[in-house]
Amino acid sequence: MNFTNIEEIANYLVADGKGFLAADESTPTIGKRFDAINTESTENSRRDYRELLFRASGMNENISGVILFDETLRQSAADGTFLKEVISKTGALPGIKVDKGVSPINDSEEVLTGGLDGLEKRCSEYEDLGAKFTKWRAVMKISNDMPSQECIDANMQALANYARIVQDHNMVPIVEPEVLMDGEHSAESCYDATSKCLNSLFSNLSANEVNIKGTILKPNMILAGQDSPAQLSHSEVADLTMKCLLENVPPELPGIAFLSGGQSDIDATANLDALNKKGGNPWKLTFSYGRALQQAALKAWLGSNENTLAAQEAFSHRAEMNKLAALGKWTRDLER
């Protein structure tokens, strides 16, 4: 695929009914996922698992981009083909997570995502390696006095600095300000925190002269904390999420690809579907799911190559369901 500019890449990534597979778990995070299925995390086991996803039939027609961790972008499949080529053959573009994780702000519970040091050089290499887009994730927690405006502004400024550097290297930045669903907070608290983050993010992007038409937003949906007794219905999630986005996100942004954030597979699909059924949005609304696309596949795989087909089947099913949700055409009876 040849693109002449980042706006074309961004539009390709959010084409109707397509979304992202987030397979960019850092080595410690994929280690935790493998622990849960009693599988040792080694370079080869990580390769085998990711290769099975990238070769699943559900990649075709449903996935436009795969977010990778550094190791995977450089890794070869068992037959020697680069994994990034396995991905490209399905029509999806390879992308790369470029942040370096979080560290505490002033010994508080709040965190700032780092990775700007040396980013210019890393982007130059990733561009040469064929990455077409990148991801940077900022994380905000909700409690009585969190997130603080200081935490929000520091993280949103870092996201804007990252986005500027990435665009200078002809890649599309995915900007991910994640308000966590951990805790007992209300949906209103999530709404307020998300609204403040998006507001700060888009003013920082504008101050840095980031091209919004060549940028993709990866936000959380508006949800009550996962330990709150007052959970919202799918249609309430859609109403509040749409309102928050319409108030804060400029219409020229090509697309919004939600993170799943710890929602169940079905909730992540049903909420995206409710958003698209609602309509009235100037941007594409799609998925960029990690856990909600992979949980079922991991459980089916259990670290054994004998289960490759079952794992591919489980992943392909979720990819197909989320494609339908991105089109507002999912129904519950399509689930098994």
Each residue 200-229 as x (binds ligand 13P by CB under 6 A) or -, in order, gives: ------------------------------
DSSP state of 90: T
Q: Which of helix, strand or coil describes residue 161?
A: helix
Distance CA 164, CA 161 (A): 5
Burial degree of 144 (CB within 10 A; 0-12, 13-18, 19+):
exposed
Q: Indicate if 176 belongs to the active site.
A: yes
Q: What is the smallest separation between the CB atom of 96 and ligand 13P, expressed in angstroms?
A: 12
Q: Which of 10, 13, 22, 179 binds ligand 13P (CB under 6 A)?
A: 22
DSSP state of 68: E
Q: What is the smallest separation between the CB atom of 258 and ligand 13P, expressed in angstroms?
A: 8
Task: Examine residue 137 and tell whether it contacts ligand 13P (CB under 6 A).
Answer: yes
Q: Which residue number, 8 or 71, has a Cβ lying nearer to ligand 13P?
A: 71
Task: Examine residue 66 and tell whether it contacts ligand 13P (CB under 6 A).
Answer: no
Task: Examine residue 261 and tell whether it contacts ligand 13P (CB under 6 A).
Answer: yes
Question: Cis peptide before 251, with omega less than 30 degrees from 0?
Answer: no
Each residue 37-56 as x (binds ligand 13P by CB under 6 A) or -, in order, gives: --------------------
Query: Which residues fall within 8 angstroms of residue 274, CB to CB, at 6 or more apart?
Result: 234, 235, 237, 238
Choosing from 196, 218, 284, 323, which is the catalytic residue? 218
Q: Indicate if 218 belongs to the active site.
A: yes
Choosing from 25, 51, 110, 176, which is the catalytic residue? 176
Distance CA 321, CA 187 (A): 26
Residues in 271-290 at the binding interface with ligand 13P, rule: CB under 6 A: 289-290
Q: Which of 62, 90, 194, 260 binds ligand 13P (CB under 6 A)?
A: 260
Tokens of 168: 């200078």
Beta carbons of 282 and 249 less than 8 angstroms apart = no
Show which residues are catalytic.
176, 218
